Amino acid sequence: MQYWLMKSEPDEVSIDDVMASKDQTTPWFGVRNYQARNFMRDQMQVGDGVLFYHSSCPEPGIAGLAEIVSAPYSDASQFDAKGKYYDPKATQEQPRWISIDVKGTQKTRLLSLAEMRTIPALEEMTVLQKGSRLSITPVTPAQWKAVVKLLK
């Protein structure tokens, strides 16, 4: 059992979108970074906890809680020649990118990036480090606990 922070642009998929979808579950597709892919492929397990983070928006921050509800599977968007996630080097036989399904468990108040930076227990969070851009980052159990407490 591990914990993760996953970034999503609310213009694309917000916590509201996730909570409104069937079974509150949505496929996480479009990851095009190897490090993030490898986390999904090699480490994520069904039941892992997810901090749902809104990025590239007026108020970036954690907007909800979610969990991993599927094993990794081939990301269909890599084969869509007209889509923005198309990868000409990916083949059906050798897919390069994967998806997993994420289930929203709770929309929370917004724990803004600015507030997160004031919390000593979150100081070491990867997402708060200078230059951190990864869309999926591991969260320690202590960090998870601290965030959940702040969101109650």
Q: Kindly state whether residue 131 participates in binding DNA, applying the rule CB under 7 A.
A: yes
User: Any contact of residue 7 with DNA (CB under 7 A)?
Assistant: yes
- Contact at 8 Å (CB) between 95 and 78? yes
Question: Residue from 19, 90, 113, 148 that binds DNA (CB under 7 A)?
Answer: 113
Among 12, 17, 133, 141, binds DNA (CB under 7 A): 133
Angle at CA of residue 145, ends 104 and 23, nearest 5°: 10
Residues 60-79 that bind DNA (CB under 7 A): 60
Which DSSP letter does residue 75 get?
Answer: -
Using the contact rule CB under 7 A, the part of the chain among 16-24, 41-49, 100-108, 130-138 near DNA is 130-138
5 binds DNA (CB under 7 A): no
Query: What does DSSP assign to residue 39?
Result: I
| Contact partners, residue 106, CB within 8 Å, separation at least 6 | 64, 65
Minimum gap (Å) between residue 23 Cβ and DNA: 26
d(CA 49, CA 141): 10
Question: Which helix (H) or strand (E) covers residue 54, if one does?
Answer: strand 49-54
**Is residue 108 at the binding interface for DNA, with CB under 7 A as the rule?**
no
Write down the least CB distance from residue 109 to DNA, Å.
Answer: 17
Contacts (CB under 7 A) with DNA, residues 13-42:
32-35
